[in-house]
Amino acid sequence: MPDRVIDLRSDTVTKPSPAMRQAIATAEVGDDVLGDDPTVAALETRVADLLGKEAAVYAPSGTMTNQTAIRAHTQHGEEIVMDPDSHVYFYECAAPAALSGCSSRFVQDSHRGIFTADQVKAVLRPRNIHAPRQSLIVIENTHNRGGGSIWPVENLAAIRQLADENNMRRHMDGARLMNACVASGRKPTDYTQYFDSISICLSKGLGAPVGSVVAGSAEFIAKVRFFRKQFGGGMRQAGLLAAAGIYALDHNIDRLAEDHANARILAQGLAKLPGITLNPADVETNIVIFEIAPHLGTGATFAARLKEAGVWMMANAPQKVRAVTHLDVSRDQIEDALVRIQKIIGGTTPGVLA
């Protein structure tokens, strides 16, 4: 195993920097379940302002901000419209069914997780005695399994209008909304204006160790706060963690551009290797998903071979592997990773390293 691991499994693997640890160490704290923690309150106000909403609530994870929001938007027996590859469905342990008692109805044939108002319309049910009430649309921006794809605002505007006509609410899983903003040059509110609630994660590209925040109207956030407690997410002196979140918002948003540049370099290098298929133009932010030819193995076995060479990535589908760039990976490491991957493929495909 080479001594220097290049960990591209996820942008969640970042470790707090010395300066972030200093912010954690000096944070003012109180009992946040009793509403006493000034640092949590400051973070919540900061995120509400950033996203153009009245209020926000801090929670331990993106799963919890998504699922408390879903619980607050819906009643048991209702249905949620979303992409089948959305994190809320694919990676959150059937929580919409388990915690909110809701079924999921999938938009068909999205393009890398992005869909249109017409595609939503196609899965809307008639209002009759047979159909569940469809009360919520969930959209993910950027879209993780879509390879970090960014939503066009025109689609969001059209979906909002359709949702209004059908008395449906809208939640954005904006775990990586800041990546979308930095890559597109748009303000957060250019996206958030179309949503009743938005969840953002501080512990992904922004580099905090823990934490997500969900924003919306004051009335809605009061409900989310209740469900956060019910789901076991009430935390006491959470200002220690919230201080890391404030530090992340102060220092780590603009630098996401470096992660996007590194992802592009990685994608361009990978695309040149035989047996690897991806379109570098699809890489809009910090996620690179590529397909491997069967002679290289499966996604899982190829990832295992990469791991032996000290390059950590994750299988994303039977023949797909995902790499995510982040603030603990430098450009030099990306170039080093490409050399190591080329060696592995060279060993598999005679002549590549001639």
Ligand X SMILES: Cc1ncc(COP(=O)(O)O)c(C=O)c1O
- Closest distance to ligand X from the beta carbon of 98 (Å): 15
Q: Which of 139, 176, 169 is nearest to 285 (CA)?
A: 176
Instruction: Please report, for residues 76, 141, 143, 287, 322, the alpha-carbon distance to residue 146 in angstroms, rounded to integers and kept in the order given.
Output: 29, 10, 5, 9, 11
Q: Are 218 and 54 contacting, i.e. CB atoms less than 8 angstroms apart?
A: yes
Q: Is 173 in the site for ligand X (CB under 6 A)?
A: yes
Measured CA to CA, the distance from residue 354 to residue 352 in angstroms comes to: 6
Query: Which one of residues 24, 58, 62, 137 is an interface residue with ligand X (CB under 6 A)?
Result: 62
Give the integer Cα–Cα distance in Å for 334 and 313: 12
Taking the complex as a whole, the smallest distance from the CB of residue 199 to ligand X amounts, in Å, to: 7
Pick 87 or 260: Cβ nearer ligand X: 87
When asked if residue 83 is in the footprint of ligand X (CB under 6 A), the reply is no
| 59 is an interface residue for ligand X by CB under 6 A | no
175 binds ligand X (CB under 6 A): yes
Which of 74, 142 has the CB closer to ligand X? 142
How many chain residues interact with ligand X (CB under 6 A)?
13
Nearer to ligand X, 276 or 303 (CB): 303
155 exposure class (CB count in 10 Å sphere: 0-12, 13-18, 19+): middle
Token look-up 């690897």 returns 276
- Closest by CA position to 269, among listed 6, 5, 15: 6
Which two structure tokens, joined as six digits, stand for 35? 């509403």
Q: How far is the CB of 350 from ligand X (least distance, A)?
A: 38
71 binds ligand X (CB under 6 A): no
Other C-beta atoms closer than 10 Å to the C-beta of 70 total 29
Give CA–CA dist 113/149, Å, rounded. 7
Find the shortest distance in angstroms from Cβ 311 to ligand X.
20
Q: Which two tokens stand for residue 259?
A: 């992660």
CB-closest chain residue to ligand X: 62
Which residues lie across from 315 on neighbouring strands? 321
Among 61, 193, 298, 342, binds ligand X (CB under 6 A): 61
Which residue's CB is nearer to ligand X, number 61 or number 348? 61
Q: Could you tell me which residues come within 8 angstroms of residue 231 by beta carbon, excluding any fewer than 6 positions away?
A: 64, 67, 68, 71, 99
User: Measured from the CB of residue 184, what is the shortest distance to ligand X in angstroms?
Assistant: 17
Tell me the closest approach of the beta carbon of residue 291 to ligand X, in angstroms.
20
Q: Which is nearer to ligand X, 124 or 182 (CB)?
A: 182
Interacting positions 183-202 with ligand X (CB under 6 A): 201
Q: Which is nearer to ligand X, 61 or 104 (CB)?
A: 61
CB nearer ligand X, residue 66 or residue 252: 66
Of residues 6 through 25, those in contact with ligand X by CB under 6 A are 12
Parallel, antiparallel or unpaired: strands 103-106 and 79-82:
parallel
Positions 202 through 241 that interact with ligand X (CB under 6 A): 203, 212
- Tell me the residue type at 144: N
Binding flags for ligand X, 127-156, as an x/- string (CB under 6 A): -------------x---x------------
Q: Which is nearer to ligand X, 62 or 188 (CB)?
A: 62
Q: Sign of dihedral through CA atoms 72, 76, 82, 86?
A: positive
Q: Among 96, 188, 89, 190, which Cα is nearest to 143's?
A: 89
Cβ proximity to ligand X, 198 vs 296, nearer residue: 198
Tell me the window of 28-36, 60-68, 177-185, 289-297 that interacts with ligand X (CB under 6 A).
60-68
What gap in Å lies between CA 241 and CA 29, rounded to an integer?
Answer: 10
Q: Write out the residues near ligand X by the rule CB under 6 A.
A: 12, 61-63, 66, 87, 140, 144, 173, 175, 201, 203, 212
